[in-house]
Amino acid sequence: MTNSEHIAYRMVSGTAEKLLFFCMGMLIVLTCSRWSIQLFILVGGVTSVVRAVYKRSLSWRLLLLAISFVVLGSLVLMLVVGHKNIDAWWQIECFGLWWSITYNSFWYALQLACRAVNSILFIQLLSVNISLAEAITTARKLKVPNSLLELVLLSYRYLFVLKETAHVVRLAQNQRLGYISFRNSLRSTGLLLSMVFIKSLRFSMQNFQSMQVRGYGGFTHQSEEWHPSSFLGILLITVSAIILFCVEFFKF
């Protein structure tokens, strides 16, 4: 369970550097309110994500889905419901109430959307840059319960089983023109879900019996993976975070 894909920054190669970069970035995004800092992080995050996942179509789809959810939520936050507002940029009366967009509500929603997108970008960067073995090793160092780690490992393994099973069933349905019309698509989707559940359940039972025969006692041995970090990389991340915090709180 190794991950050969690396982040756009070659200096961030150690496990401690990756975790520090993620924690500092999320802390800056959630605490800093200056537009200059948020836009700086947004531009850097978009550039890094484009370089990290430009060859992975599924990652792009999931990323766009999350960003579209943020955009829709921001549109709702822009609306102020109540009485007629003379300072509103746009307003309309509906159901006996005035729905308006004001200067404050617009910039509040835009700033919140920027923070949410930056958080999504940091999570995406962490997911493509850290392997499962590194994550499990970090969790063990943080004294996370073994039962929770075991659940994560088994879930991670069965995700690929679900994906492969769904791919095989859908391929068979496509060959039989299962998605030729909207009605057939609905019927085929229902059959797909039921077949994936049945096949995955059967496979999990067989796999669990095989694990018990081989002496499984509730603990999966996972090799540890912890890449050494450079002092220069940690120092650079820390100094950069301190500079951004100073810009935010001392109002340079």
pLDDT in tens, 64-86: 777 888 888 888 777 777 777 77
The radius of gyration computed from the CA coordinates of the chain, to the nearest angstrom, equals: 24
How many beta carbons lie within 10 A of that of residue 11, not counting itself? 14
Asked if pLDDT for residue 167 goes beyond 80, the answer is yes
Asked if pLDDT for residue 9 goes beyond 60, the answer is no
The domain locations on the chain are: 15-130+228-249, 138-213
Asked if pLDDT for residue 141 goes beyond 70, the answer is yes
Alpha helix positions (H), the chain: 15-31, 35-53, 57-78, 103-129, 132-141, 146-175, 182-213, 231-249
14: left (phi over 0), alpha (psi -120 to 50) or beta: beta
Q: Residue 119: which pLDDT band, with cuts at 50, 70 and 90? A: confident
DSSP bridge pairs for 91? 100
105 Cβ neighbours under 8 A, 6+ residues apart: 77, 78, 79, 80
In which order are the strands placed within the sheet that holds 79-82? 79-82, 97-101, 90-94
Asked if pLDDT for residue 89 goes beyond 70, the answer is yes
Q: What is the pTM of this model?
A: 0.67
Report d(CA 110, CA 86) in Å as an integer.
22
Percent of the chain topping pLDDT 90:
0
Report d(CA 141, CA 224) in Å as an integer.
11
Contact 149, 139 (CB under 8 A): yes
Q: Residue 3: which pLDDT band, with cuts at 50, 70 and 90? A: very low
Q: Residue 11: which pLDDT band, with cuts at 50, 70 and 90? A: very low
Asked if pLDDT for residue 88 goes beyond 80, the answer is no
Sign of torsion over alpha carbons 224, 229, 235, 236: negative
The mean per-residue pLDDT over the stretch 186-197 comes to 85
